Chain A
Amino acid sequence: MLSNILTRKQPSTLVCIQDSLEQSGLHLLRAFAQHAVDRKESHVHILCYEHPTIKMKTGLRNSSEDHVHFHDCFTDHRGWIDSQEKENIRSDVHTKGNSILSVLQTSPVTSTNDCIIIIDSLTPLIYNIGFTRCYRELHSLLVKSTNGLTVSQVICLIHEDTLPDVHVALPQLCHLATTTVKIGSHTQSSRGNPTASIIHKKQGGKILRQVEYYSIDADNRLKSEILTLVTPTVAGVNEDENQLPEDLTTFKLSLGQQEKEARSQLVLPYLRINSEKGGKVFYQPDAADDWDEEDPDDDLDI
């Protein structure tokens, strides 16, 4: 399912990738970004809040093409260098804080085509402008067309272990997102690959849930497979039960070929041999029979 969401066979407007220190989701985000770049159908805006843009640029192939736009929100993440007035900085008014909307509005994009927005991590933004404002901005990106831009998809990364008020904020973010991908570290059955538990809300209101493991190669291509839980302990016990412990006894516990044949030819009592006809009741009247002439169901109103 992860690859269906990546290739947009399952359309999703807001994909939220949750990762933690244990397992980074940056590679998955890069795979999403690479796919958006390679499709060339719409403009791709990559907002770098957490890393310098160069890190994302070098990680992606064909990143210098025209339809790919990088926005550096990292070096001047509170807008202090830009504003220059020290008064503003101290009182914290008028600093843009590099909110998603202000970044996108200042970007010189003439095309009115739909665009894909990739945010390398929401966490610094939440630190700067607060969760409520961040939530509102994400929502307004999805609902309204901002400054001539119509957003067809937003893909964002969030570190759940660094989020303030995580037990409040994370469910709210999942409420807004159409797809939530929670990255987990590798388990026994994922063959060393990171796992992703996906909750996807379909257009009609149906919910898809799946746990998959994925791998991303050097070209940022994603391979994902459904995680099947292997429970070795249970399987082991079953095998033991089915095997007869022949070497433990002096008895003969198994059957030979002849013995099996003999067993199959044995007609068991009460075995129905010819079942092609319906049943028949053979009754021989007996002298001691006590016939009841009355209808036993007489009192019923049939």
Chain B
Amino acid sequence: MAVQQTSFQKKTKSRIPYIPGSRPSIKNTQLLVSSGVPSFDCVIGGGIPVGTLVLIEEDKYGTYAKLLVRYFLAEGIACGHSLFVASQDLNCEALVRELPAPVHHDDAAPTSELDDKMTIAWRYQNMREIQSFSSNTSFGHHYDLTKSVDPDILRTIDTCYWTGPIECRQAEGRFKNPAYYDLLCTIQRKIEEGQFGVEASPEKRNMLRIAVHSLGSPLWAEQTHQKSDLPIFLYCLRSLLRSAYAACVLTLPSHLFQETWVIKRCQHLCDTAVRLESFAGSEKETNPVYRDYHGLFHINKLSAINTLMPHVPESFDLAFRLRRKKFSIEKLHLPPELQGTTQREQDELPSVAGVSCGGAGTRNLLDF
């Protein structure tokens, strides 16, 4: 009897090309790149899927959003990716020049966690660590904010800047604002020239990291037509990215937007949307509940690319903390109550007058 041949064939050659600094997702083999913050990668499901758009709504003073952009670009330098930096507010070249250098593991202090055994609270020995999002060292790095990246390494990186539209350029198509149109054209040209498209077949495939800082800030505005171009821009950009080996992070100063519909549309048109809420300058800075953190991390949207089972993080109560060598996003924990507080909240209720011997009604000075 002849062996019946099945049409089933084992896929021997992976269709996913190997690009340094990327890895396929364990869930759906979607190619991922690191955002430069390992805990951020964990929260959004392993990393930024290639071909997607990540929206970061800026904190009020923009400090931490800028930091995330810097980490994203620094990770690109560490992996040898091409960079595209766009901002009208910042000096892009200075931003790239001052990117942080990765922390090498020899520098990092040896961990002596095994040594300190708990003698009294031994029951807690086997508890998981507070940091709920483990950092995988092979993918994504930690960066030292006090050290700048080596200029020699920087020279080998293909970097492209966009600092504003060329004066004479006119917007075309649906666009009324030349800034958005010009940026879109520049990105498209970069994808074509650098052969980052899926159809292109370059000798050595590389990844393009696009960072747009403070999109839609007052410097992007035109007098007459305020924000209507922003959603169109995001829509076009997203469709450009889908067919390219590129990942984009953009920050949006949404606290300056009066039109809430713009923010909603922007969230809708991005694949991942997060918001930073810094404690700097707010009342939460001194609140003992938030003592250990620098701000809250809100997730508005997570991407569901090529999957029916999208990633859902363990908790949505997230906070971030910045240290010199590490920016981490953690589950929000309340700090331990160490000193006994004199009063609990419910004790502060005004005492009922009826308890006193003076009887009900107004409290007399002689009541006890």
Interface residues of A (CB under 8 A from B): 130, 132-133, 135-136, 139, 143, 167-168, 171-172, 175-176, 199, 201, 205-207, 209, 240, 245, 248-249, 302
* Chain B residues, Cβ within 8 Å of A209: 281
Q: Is B192's CB within 8 Å of the partner chain A?
A: no
The one of A135, A248, A302 in contact with B218, judged by C-beta atoms closer than 8 angstroms, is A135
Contact (A143, B280) CB under 8 Å given A168-B258, A175-B253, A176-B218: no
Query: Closest B-chain residue to A300, C-beta based?
Result: B123
Interchain CB contact under 8 A, B365 and A245: yes
Interface of chain A, helix or strand or loop or mixed? Answer: helix
Is B281's CB under 8 angstroms from A139's CB? no
Docked CA distance A248–B358 (Å)? 15
| Residues of chain B within 8 A of A248, CB atoms compared | 365-366
Contact for B89 among A132, A139, A199, A205, CB less than 8 A: A139
Which range contains the number of B residues in contact with the other chain? Answer: 20 to 34
Q: Which of B57-94 contact A (CB under 8 A)?
A: 61-64, 89, 91
Judging by beta carbons under 8 Å apart, are B255 and A171 in contact? yes
A201 neighbours in B (Cβ, 8 Å): 61
> Of B61, B64, B223, B256, which contacts A207 at CB under 8 A?
B61
A132 touches B63 (CB 8 A): no
Residues of A within 8 A of B217 (CB): 175
B interface secondary structure, majority: loop
Closest beta carbon of chain B to A261's beta carbon, Å? 25
A168 to B217, CA, bound (A): 12
Please determine whether A135 and B223 come into contact, CB atoms closer than 8 angstroms.
Answer: no
| Minimal Cβ-Cβ distance residue in B for A253 | B366
Q: Is B150 part of the contact surface with A, judged by Cβ < 8 Å?
A: no
Contacts of B253 in A (CB 8 A): 175
Chain A min CB distance to B117 (Å): 13
Report the minimal beta-carbon distance from A18 to chain B, rounded to whole angstroms.
16
Bound-state Cα–Cα, A199 to B60, Å? 12
Selected from A167, A207, A245, A302, the residue in CB contact (under 8 A) with B258 is A167
Residues 26-70 of chain B, each 1 if its beta carbon lies under 8 Å from chain A, else 0? 000000000000000000000000000000000001111000000
A245 near B219 with CB under 8 A, answer no
Bound complex: CA of A240 vs CA of B365, how far in Å?
9
What chain A residues lie within 8 Å of B95 (beta carbons)?
none
Select one of A133, A168, A205 contacting B63, CB under 8 A: A205
The residues of B that contact A139 with a CB separation of less than 8 Å are 89, 219
* Cα(A139)–Cα(B218), bound, Å: 10
A168 neighbours in B (Cβ, 8 Å): 256, 258
**Residue contact A172 to B280, C-beta cutoff 8 Å:** no
One digit per residue, 1 when the CB lies within 8 angstroms of any chain A CB and 0 when it does not, for chain B 98-133 equals 000000000000000000000000100000000000
Q: Which residue of A lies closest to B59 (CB)?
A: A205
Q: Determine whether the beta carbon of B221 is less than 8 Å from that of A132.
A: yes
